Amino acid sequence: MQQKSRRSNFILIGTMLFGMFFGAGNLIFPIYMGQQAGSIFMPALLGFFMTAIGLPFMGVLAIGLLGTGGVRRLADRVHPWFGTAFSVALYLTIGPLFAIPRTATVPFTVGIEPLISSEQMPLFLGIFSLVFFALVCRFSLKPARIIDVIGKRLTPAFLAFLSILILASVLKPMGAFQAPQGSYVTEALVTGFKEGYNTMDALASLAFGIVIIQAMNGLGISEPAAVAKTTIKSGAFAMGLMMLIYALIAFMGASSVGTVTLLANGGQVFAAVARHYFGSFGAILLGLIIVFACLKTSIALVTSCGAFFHEMFPRLGYRFLVIFLSALSFSIANVGLNNIIAFAVPVLMLLYPLAIVLILLALLSPLFKHSRSVYLSAMTLTLCVSLIDGYSSLAKSVPAASVPLFESVSKFYADSLPLYHLGLGWILPALLGALIGLLLPFASTKGHSQVSH
C-alpha cells in the first residue's frame, strides 16, 4: 500500500510538473520547427530535446538536490549580488515581461485571430486577455491548491483534447515532408538546439523548483533523500511525456507544408492543421487545447513569481503581487505574439547560457567542493559572451540599438571563439572559467559552508 502511495505521488507530481512546463511555447515552437526542418526534422528535434528536455530536467534536479531556497540560493553560490540580479531577471523573463503574456497571446493567435478582421484584433485581444488573466489571477490566489488544479484537472483535460488532433495527424498524415528551410538546411541540429531556448523551460525549471518542493512537502515528502529521489522520478516521468508529444507535434508540422504551406509562426500552423482535419469544429478543438495548455502554465508562472517576489519583498503581500503580475501581464500581452517573441529572444540569448552553466555547476558541485571561485570565474566568463549574444540579437531586431564598441567585441568573438557563429561561443569560456576557478586558492572554508548547506 505504501509503495502504491509512493508511486501515485511521483506520478501526480510528474503530471503537475508536465502541466507547469507544457504551455504556449511548447506547442507553437516544435510544430513551426517541423515545418521549417521538413525532411530533416529528426536532427532538429534531437537538438530541440537537448535544450527543451535535457536542460529543464537537470534544472529541476539541481533545485531538488538543493532542497530549499530555490534559484536565488543556488545563484548566491556565485555571489549574493549575482544571486539577486540573476533571479530577478529570470523571474521577470519567465514572468510578466515575456512568458506570462505569451500564454494569453498564443491561444488568441491560434483560436480567435483567424476568425476576425485585422481591424477587430486589438479589441478582441483586449477582451480575451482580460478574461484569461482574470481566471489566472483567481486560481493563483490559492497556491496550496496548485497540485489539484494543474495535476488533477487542467493537465488531463489538455492531454485528452490534444490527443484527438495528434491521432488524426499520425493516422492520416497531411503529406510528404518538404525540403528544409533557412538555417535548417546546413545546421539542423544546432538550430533545433537554439529553438529549444524559446520554450524558456530551462529558466522555468529553476523558478518552478521551489513550487515542486512545496508540493512534495504537502504530500509528506520532506527528507532530503526522499525529495531528491521523488524529483528524479517525477522529472523523468514529465520529461518523457514531453519528449513523446514534442516528437508527434514536430511530425505534424513537417507533414503539413504541402497542404497548409509555410506560415509565419507556430500558432498559425496549429490553426491551419486543425481546420484541415476538423473544419469549423477544429477551431473549437484547438481553442480548448490551447486555452488549457496556456492557462495551467500561466497559473504556475504567476504562482512562482508571486511567491518569489513576496519572499524578496515581504511587505508586498502575495495576494497583491498576484493581482499586480496578472494586470501587468495583461497589459504586455496586448502588444501581440510576434512582438513578444521578437523582444524575448535577446533576453533569452543573455540568460540561457548563464542558466545552463549554473545548472551544470550545481550538479557537478560536489566534485569541486562547492568552491565559490569555480562558480564565480565560470559564470563571469560566460556572462562576457552571453551579454554580447543578447546585444547582437537585439541589434538585429532594432538596428537603432547598435553600439560600435559592442559591434567590435562581437566581431572579435566571431573571429576568435569556436562555435560562436552557432550561438554557442560561451562553451569554451565557461570551461576555461571553471578551470581557472579550480586553480585559484582563495575560496575560503567559510565560503564553502555558506554555499553548500
330-357 pLDDT, tens digit per residue, is 998 887 656 676 777 788 889 989 999 9
Say whether pLDDT at 249 is over 80.
yes
Query: Which residue has better confidence, 267 or 336?
Result: 267
Output phi, psi for 120, to 5 deg: -85, -10
Q: Report DSSP state, residue 264.
A: S
pTM above 0.85, yes or no: no
Report all structural domains of the chain as residue ranges with CATH numbers, in order of start.
2-334 (1.10.4160.10), 343-453 (no CATH)
Pair 368, 374: CB distance under 8 Å: yes
Gap between the Cα atoms of 336 and 50, Å rounded: 29
- Confidence class for position 383, pLDDT limits 50, 70, 90: very high
DSSP 150: I
User: What local confidence, expressed as pLDDT, does residue 287 receive?
Assistant: 80
Position 395 confidence tier, pLDDT thresholds 50, 70, 90: confident
Over the Cα atoms of the chain, what is R_g?
22
Residue 313: DSSP 8-state:
S
Name the band, by pLDDT with cuts 50, 70 and 90, for residue 1.
very low
Residue 255 has pLDDT above 90, yes or no: yes
Q: Where are the beta strands (DSSP E) in 15-158?
A: none
In the numeric block, which cell numbers belong to residue 286? 484547438
For 183-198, write each residue's pLDDT tens digit.
Answer: 999 989 989 988 887 7
The pLDDT, as a whole number, for residue 98 is 85
**pLDDT for the residue 78:** 94
d(CA 336, CA 323): 21
- Single out the residue of 368, 423, 439 nearest to residue 390, CA to CA: 423
Q: Is the pLDDT of residue 248 over 90?
A: yes
Looking at residues 57-78, what average pLDDT do you find?
82
CB 104 within 8 A of CB 301: no
Here the cell at position 69 is 531556497
Reduced to 3 states (helix: H, G, I; strand: E, B; else coil), residue 315 is coil
Q: Could you tell me where the beta strands, DSSP code E, fall in 341-385?
A: none
pLDDT at residue number 257 = 92
Residue 274 has pLDDT above 50, yes or no: yes
Model confidence at 266: pLDDT above 50: yes
Cell match 516544435: residue? 30
Q: Which of 73-82, 232-241, 366-375, 441-450 has the lowest mean pLDDT?
A: 441-450
Amino acid making up residue 264: A
Alpha helices by DSSP H, listed for 93-223, are 99-107, 121-140, 146, 155-171, 184-195, 201-218
Q: Can you tell me the distance from the alpha carbon of 60 to that of 52, in angstroms, rounded to the nearest whole number?
A: 13
Predicted pLDDT of residue 441: 60
Higher-confidence residue of 398 and 383: namely 383
Of the ranges 20-34, 60-74, 419-433, which one carries the lowest mean pLDDT score?
60-74
Q: Among all chains, which residue has been given the C-alpha cell 484541415?
A: 276
Position of cell 506560415?
263
**What are the residues whose beta carbons fall under 8 Å from the beta carbon of 12, sequence distance 6 or more?**
147, 151, 152, 219
Q: What is the pLDDT of residue 451?
A: 44
pLDDT, averaged across the chain: 86
pLDDT tier for residue 446 given thresholds of 50, 70 and 90: very low
How many percent of the chain have pLDDT more than 90?
Answer: 42
pLDDT band at 202 (very low <50, low <70, confident <90, very high): confident
C-alpha to C-alpha distance for 42 and 174, rounded to whole angstroms: 18
The pLDDT, as a whole number, for residue 132 is 94
C-alpha 140 chain-centroid distance = 19
Tell whether the model's pLDDT for residue 147 goes beyond 80.
no
- Give the per-residue pLDDT at 347: 85
> Does the pLDDT of residue 424 top 90, yes or no?
no
Record the cell numbers describing residue 453, joined without a space: 548547506
Give pLDDT, residue 40: 93
